[in-house]
C-alpha cells in the first residue's frame, strides 16, 4: 500500500468521524432531547397553560418571549376533566416580570417544524408567580387539519357547481 492511499484513508476516516461528531452534537440540541449543551439551567418558577391542541410539543422545548429564550417546557399532560392539554412551563428566575395577562401560543420553528411556546407580553401591573396560570392561549396549527379543511372546501364547492349545472338543464 502506498503512502498516498494511506493518507487518503486517514483523511476519509477523519471526515466521517467529524460528521458523526457533528450529528451527535446536533441531536443533543433538538428541543425534545432532554440534553442541553451551553444552556443556562438556573432556578426558576413554574407556570401552567391549557391548550386545545399542542401538536407535537415536547418536554424540553423552548419557551420564548420576543424571540429570546426565557424558559423551557417541563411537562405536557391531559386534564381528564376538561380534556385539554396542560403544559407546565419553567421560566428562568431573571424573567420575573412577565405580566399575568400575557398570552402563550404554540409556534413552529425551522424546516423540521419543531414546536415551541411563544409568550406575548400583556399590559398588567401584576406578574406571573410560581404556580400561576397563563389564561390566554392559542393552540398549535396542525397542518393536516388545515389541508383537510381545504380539500373539504374545494370538494364542497365543486359539488355545488355540479348541482347548479344539473339544475340549469
Average pLDDT by consecutive 10-residue portion of the chain (169 residues)?
80 90 76 50 83 90 93 94 94 93 89 85 92 90 74 75 54
Cell numbers representing residue 46 in the block: 413554574
Q: How far is CA 63 from CA 40, 111, 148, in A?
A: 13, 18, 29
| Domains of the chain by residue range | 1-30, 44-147
User: What pLDDT shows up at residue 40?
Assistant: 46
Q: Tell me if 71 sits within 8 A of 41, measured CB to CB.
A: no
For 56, 139, 156, 158, 162, the CA distances from 168, given in Å and listed in that order, are 49, 44, 19, 16, 10
Residue in this structure with the C-alpha cell 407580553, named with its chain if needed: 121
Can you give the pLDDT at residue 32?
52
Residue 139 confidence (pLDDT): 85
- Cβ burial, residue 165 (10 Å; 0-12/13-18/19+): exposed
Look at residues 85, 94, 96 and name the one whose alpha carbon lies nearest to residue 61: 85
Q: What is the pLDDT of residue 143?
A: 67
pLDDT number for residue 78: 95
Please report the pLDDT score of residue 166 as a whole number. 53
Q: Are strands 68-79 and 84-92 parallel, antiparallel or unpaired?
A: antiparallel
Q: Which pLDDT value is given to residue 39?
A: 46
Write down the pTM of the prediction.
0.64
DSSP string, 97-141: --BTT-EEEEEEETTTTEEEEEEE----SSB--TT-EE-EEEPPP
**Residues 36, 72: contact at Cβ < 8 Å?**
no
Amino acid at each position: 500500500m502506498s503512502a498516498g492511499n494511506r493518507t487518503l484513508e486517514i483523511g476519509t476516516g477523519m471526515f466521517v468521524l467529524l460528521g458523526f461528531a457533528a450529528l451527535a452534537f446536533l441531536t443533543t440540541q433538538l428541543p425534545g432531547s432532554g440534553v442541553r449543551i451551553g444552556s443556562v439551567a438556573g432556578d426558576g418558577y413554574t407556570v401552567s397553560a391549557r391548550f386545545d391542541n399542542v401538536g407535537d410539543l415536547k418536554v424540553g422545548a423552548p419557551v420564548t418571549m420576543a424571540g429570546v429564550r426565557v424558559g423551557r417546557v417541563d411537562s405536557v399532560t391531559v386534564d381528564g376533566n376538561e380534556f385539554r392539554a396542560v403544559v407546565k412551563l419553567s421560566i428562568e428566575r431573571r424573567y420575573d416580570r412577565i405580566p399575568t395577562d400575557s398570552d402563550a401560543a404554540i409556534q413552529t420553528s425551522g424546516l423540521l417544524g419543531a414546536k415551541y411556546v411563544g409568550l406575548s407580553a400583556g399590559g398588567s401591573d401584576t406578574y406571573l408567580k410560581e404556580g400561576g396560570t397563563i389564561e390566554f392561549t392559542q393552540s398549535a396549527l396542525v397542518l393536516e387539519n388545515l389541508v383537510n379543511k381545504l380539500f373539504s372546501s374545494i370538494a364542497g364547492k365543486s359539488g355545488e357547481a355540479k348541482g347548479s349545472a344539473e339544475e340549469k338543464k
